[in-house]
Amino acid sequence: MMNKAKYIVKLAQGEMTLDGYDFIVSLIKHLLIKYRWPKIILDDNTNNDNYWSDDEVISFTHQILFYIIDKKKLKNYYKIPISYIEYYFRTIIVSYVANKIKEQQNKFGLSFDDTKRVSLEILNDLYFSRKVKNDVLWNKENIFTNPVKDIDSIKDIIACLPKIPITSKTKHYKPRVKTALNDVFNIINRPITQSVIINQVFGLFDQSSFAVNYDEQITSDIREDVVIHAINIIISKIHVIDIPIYIDYYFGEKKISLKIIAEKYDLPKSTAHYKINKFRKIIFDNFTPNNEQEGVWFLENLHKILDELK
């Protein structure tokens, strides 16, 4: 990870090596695939599928680099522990994409594709599923008898549900999608095929009024409750005995090598490497900041709590 960090530090210092450029292109391609970001973030006129060609990945990389340099997004890089430089860099990219998506949503509302993407995230987290032939059934309980397979059989019932407003002032769409899913399952009280549930959720949104004006700072809010919840999950998944190792490696004032960590804590270097990478994976699996400010606030509070527990 230290080798990757040096590329970002070089970029912050106004330099860019060929290896550094290749690393950034590779990182952005990984994030595009992992989060299935729509191509609308590349250009307003680009089709809205999720397949990115190599040329489109490179174009988007250049767009990101121009944004980072033009907005001086790495000017405070020296305030971030060297072991977290890559994480901080990712927050800048995620923040930029969130703003681009928000800009499009402020113009056009929440698209069907975004509704589907967010719905599937929530369904996978909170609901039960079963594949039956070519259909995927979802239910709030692990029961799949008498499923709803077509819209006509429930449209009159769904029509009784109140519309859920989404406007240009709506900061977070996921809670609205979660409410819509809950409303549909509660009123139907039966398993529902995936295509039907997503269509019904999308139909519950009232998106009749949108403003084109867009303020980039709209995603600068820090979700304190989300951050604290994520930190609590992270803390629950680590061993207290390893906390000093994490603090030394990730939050030390000076860059420290795995060799020094291994020697200080009388560990084989492979064990030290395993512990460091495991902690990093726990963080990445449980928290993705919406913006740089939230990322920094997360790191500061994680460090503070680790210090209290060591």
pLDDT, tens only, 259-269 = 899 999 999 98
Mean pLDDT across the stretch 129-147? 88
Per-residue confidence band for 211, with pLDDT thresholds at 50, 70 and 90: very low
Give the per-residue pLDDT at 218: 39
* pLDDT of 210 strictly over 70: no
Mean pLDDT across the stretch 289-304? 82
* pLDDT of 216 strictly over 60: no
Amino acid at 172: H
Using one digit for the tens of pLDDT, what is the confidence trace for 268-281? 989 999 999 899 88
| Closest C-alpha among 77, 86, 237, 106 to residue 166 | 106
| pTM beyond cutoff 0.75 | no
* pLDDT of 147 strictly over 60: yes
Query: Where is average pLDDT lowest: 47-51, 141-145, 210-214?
Result: 210-214
Query: Where is average pLDDT lowest: 4-8, 151-155, 211-215, 272-276?
Result: 211-215
- Which structure tokens are listed for 163? 């519309």
- For the chain, the structural domain boundaries read 1-108, 112-206, 220-310
* Secondary structure class of 286 (helix, strand, coil): helix
* Secondary structure class of 171 (helix, strand, coil): coil
Per-residue confidence band for 219, with pLDDT thresholds at 50, 70 and 90: very low
SS (H, E, C) the chain: CHHHHHHHHHHHCCCCCHHHHHHHHHHHHHHHHHHCCCHHHCCCCCCCCCCCCHHHHHHHHHHHHHHHHHCCCCCCHHHCCHHHHHHHHHHHHHHHHHHHHHHHHHHHCCCHHHHHHHHHHHHHHHCEEEEECCEEEEECCCCCCCCECCHHHCHHHHCCCCCEECCCCCCCCHHHHHHHHHHHHHHHCCCEEHHHHHHHHHHCEECCCCCCCCCHHHHCCCCHHHHHHHHHHHHHCCCHHHHHHHHHHHHCCCCCCHHHHHHHCCCCHHHHHHHHHHHHHHHHHHCCCCCHHHHHHHHHHHHHHHHHHC
Per cent of the chain over pLDDT 70 is 89
Mean pLDDT across the stretch 202-223? 61
Distance of alpha carbon 178 from alpha carbon 79, whole angstroms:
37
Which residues share a beta bridge with 131? 136
Greater model confidence, 217 or 58 = 58
Mean pLDDT across the stretch 198-210? 82
* pLDDT of 244 strictly over 90: yes
Distance of alpha carbon 162 from alpha carbon 173, whole angstroms:
17
